[in-house]
Amino acid sequence: MSNAMSALPFWEGFRVDSCVEREDSSLLISLTESDSAPICGACHQSCSLVHERRRRIVRDRDCFDRKVWLDVPIRRMDCHHCGARVAEHISWIDRHSRITRRLRNWIEVLVQILPVKHVAKLTELHWHTIKTIDYQRLERLHGEFSAQGVCRLVMDEFALHKGHRYATVIMDAETMRVLWVGEDKTRKAIRPFFELLGKEGCGQIEAVAMDMNTAFDLEVRKHCPHAEVVYDLFHVVARFGRDVVDRVRVDQANVLRTQPAERRVIKRARWLLLRNKDKLKAEQAVKLSELLEANAALATVYLLKTELKEIWFAPSVREGFRRWRQWYRLVMESQLKPAIQFARRLKKYLRGILASAIYRMNSSILEGVNNKIKVIKRMAYGFRDSAYFFLKIKHAFPGKPR
Ligand SMILES: [Zn+2]
């Protein structure tokens, strides 16, 4: 091989010895050491005591349309500086790696735009290799816990893998950065977060938004002496939709057993009733108002849903309390059993509901987070690796600057 070719500048410390085309038309490039002394893999000092040589087959980036394999002689050192017996340090391969750093960098770009499965197909590397590269990339970016200056939190749970298990996500309420994600939703499960936050960090927490009916509030009170628990609108309204609006809709459909046409309209109205009014198209809005006009019970629960939201938009706790009392009275007058049950249960959470007048939370952000986690879950599904999934969530919510 000519000198110019053998000294290609891609593999520092090595020269090209030969290049052959293999049966599958990939290229196998054999390297040989250049004249410089090897560098100890442990102490990074140059050292000439070589104890043995082993050849390693390493994949590099493709060259034109060919896959490229390198046959690299790797020296094992008997270092006279640090006494270690380790493989030499090579600037373009990570320790024990079977791909070059150049290829790794390329894969790190690809995984940001394509699913792991596709990158594996494209590069003809095992998906596990690709996943590990992506995992390590994310770990480098988000592995370390930091919660500097955080004083308001949002806690939420979401289902893992077909809903059999749960996980908890904790965010900075102001920047919407994901601070922590952990498996399960028990008090014990979220305790590590407060331990990471530390006594000082916990002392700075002034408000924590969450859903009702969780174990979070007790744990928050235990660790954060100054924190006010706030129940957010998104969860309460979603619950009202499930427990009251939907219940009444089904009851009403059952009442109309002898009128199949009317019954069908109500049975199919689930989405229409649960959806935010401002998200409906013009013809859907017309359909909804026709439905509400025709059915008094549905009209009542729909009104109750709208009025319930207003409590969260009260400018003060005092006004919030006035709206709450008015809403509660409306519920009791409605004589709708699911609504009455709901209101009685909700009463226990009143303090945390009215606290939203002091600690404003943008509930639509929480709703967005919820939806985005579902999308990530679909994409990461199949790995069955929670740690990887959690890093993906952190990566999706880097937060806006303070
Ligand atoms: Zn050394």
Rounded to the nearest angstrom, the distance between the alpha carbon of 85 and the centre of ligand 1 is 8
- What mean pLDDT is predicted for residues 17-46? 94
The pLDDT, as a whole number, for residue 170 is 95
Interacting residues of 333 by C-beta distance below 8 A, sequence separation 6+: none
pLDDT in tens, 299-331: 999 999 999 999 999 999 999 999 999 999 999
- The Cα 183–Cα 168 span in angstroms is 6
Rounded to the nearest angstrom, the distance between the alpha carbon of 103 and the centre of ligand 1 is 27
- What are the DSSP calls for 316-352, one per residue? SHHHHHHHHHHHHHHHHHHT-HHHHHHHHHHHTTHHH
Rounded to the nearest angstrom, the distance between the alpha carbon of 87 and the centre of ligand 1 is 10
pLDDT in tens, 256-269: 888 888 888 888 88
pLDDT grade, residue 150 (50/70/90)? very high
- The Cα 310–Cα 289 span in angstroms is 20
Rounded to the nearest angstrom, the distance between the alpha carbon of 93 and the centre of ligand 1 is 18
Class of residue 179 by CB neighbours under 10 A (exposed 0-12, middle 13-18, buried 19+): buried
pLDDT in tens, 339-360: 999 999 999 999 999 999 999 8
pLDDT in tens, 96-113: 999 999 999 999 999 999
Class of residue 26 by CB neighbours under 10 A (exposed 0-12, middle 13-18, buried 19+): middle
Least confident of 1-5, 295-299, 333-337: 1-5
Residues 340, 332 contacting (CB under 8 angstroms): yes
Residue whose pair of structure tokens reads 């373009």 in the numeric block: 92
The pLDDT, as a whole number, for residue 8 is 82
